[in-house]
Amino acid sequence: RREDPSELVSVLAQAKATAIQNRMKEKENALLITCDQVVVHEGKILEKPVDADEARKFIRGYANAPASTVGAIAVTQLDTGKVEMEVDQANIFFTAIPDDKIDYLIKEGEVFYCAGGLMVEHELVTPHVVKIEGTMDAVMGLPKALVLKLLSNFFD
């Protein structure tokens, strides 16, 4: 496992491309988009929370320091193997999320499917987002402008 978030997501996005590419039969004139994303908080890469206590710790902690999403997007031309890849980062600043809202999020269960339990789009979380440096689609894992930029590198 890589300690550097940018390196980790780059390696994982490329590994996904390789795995898919090896299973595809038709590769002519095909572009494959793969990606990976992690949440970083206070210098640590956060995984999906394993239990309610960890989810609560992650979500409470976001009021103390911004959370960052670090994501890699790779576009692979399947017949040539050419790869265009970039890493994107967004920083999310929060006010404290009240415990009753955190409890509801945990009971609902969706936080366990998100790295760091980070769900900025949730109606209970959105009011506590003070500022996003970057784009919302980057926070969600697929920055459209970056995808279009990478795709444009394959066309004259």
- Catalytic site residues? 36
Distance CA 62, CA 94 (A): 6
| Number of neighbours of residue 101 by Cβ within 10 angstroms | 17
* DSSP per position, 95-138: PPPPHHHHHHHHHH-GGGGSGGG--TTSTTTGGGEEEEES-HHH
| Number of neighbours of residue 121 by Cβ within 10 angstroms | 12
Element spanning 54, H or E: helix 52-61
